[in-house]
Amino acid sequence: MEINLLLRGLTIGLAIAAPVGPIGILCIRQSLAFGWLHGFVAGLGAATADAMYGCVAAFGLTFVTNFLIEQQFWLRLVGGAFLCYLGVKTFISMPSETAASTRGNTLTRVYTSTWMLTLTNPATILAFAAIFSGLGLASIKQNYLSAILLVIGVFCGSALWWLLLSTTVTLAKTKLNLNWVNRLSGIVIVAFGIIALLNL
């Protein structure tokens, strides 16, 4: 039973993380600019947020869900504006300057920024709720151990995806022009931000 729940959580985590979105673009860009560790840490920020939303869904914390839904205007506003800022910053950054700024608390900033961006997307909690209902997992809300195992699985599944993505992108780095990667990444990230703002 425990292994089954972990595997289900792993599958959910992979399913939530895998679609390419602004976090995926940020992870790819971090991997290309700084190496797989930065890309993976960026993904871990998103995986942590996924686990938090998974926790809300698994434990049936309806008051948290309702609060997030009620505040989705402000969450989308903050998230969209931050994406536009990151997109512009990425577009104008130069690879040589980027490589020189990898010291200090960069990893902490990378982790925190992707964690916050993922949390500002209230649609994620709705996706978790839909997946949990679709897989017949609503009953685990009364079993704390089962819920914890499922959330651990969600985190591991999401983290696994980011590890695979950052590693793959880093291995392909030599075949890519980082100037063009920055430009394209910046445009795509700004586009996601504009879409978020238009959906307010």
* 129-145 residue pLDDT tens: 666 666 555 555 556 77
Convert the pLDDT of each residue in 21-65 to its tens digit: 788 888 888 888 888 899 999 999 999 998 888 887 777 666 666
End-to-end alpha carbon distance in the chain = 42
**How many domains would you assign to the chain?**
1
Q: What is the mean pLDDT of residues 58-76?
A: 68
pLDDT band at 156 (very low <50, low <70, confident <90, very high): very high
Give the rounded percent of residues in the chain with a pLDDT score beyond 90: 9
* Domain of 47, in residue numbers: 2-198
Q: What is the pTM of this model?
A: 0.72
Nearest in space to 17 (alpha carbons), one of 137, 114, 133: 114
Q: Are 73 and 142 in contact (CB under 8 A)?
A: no
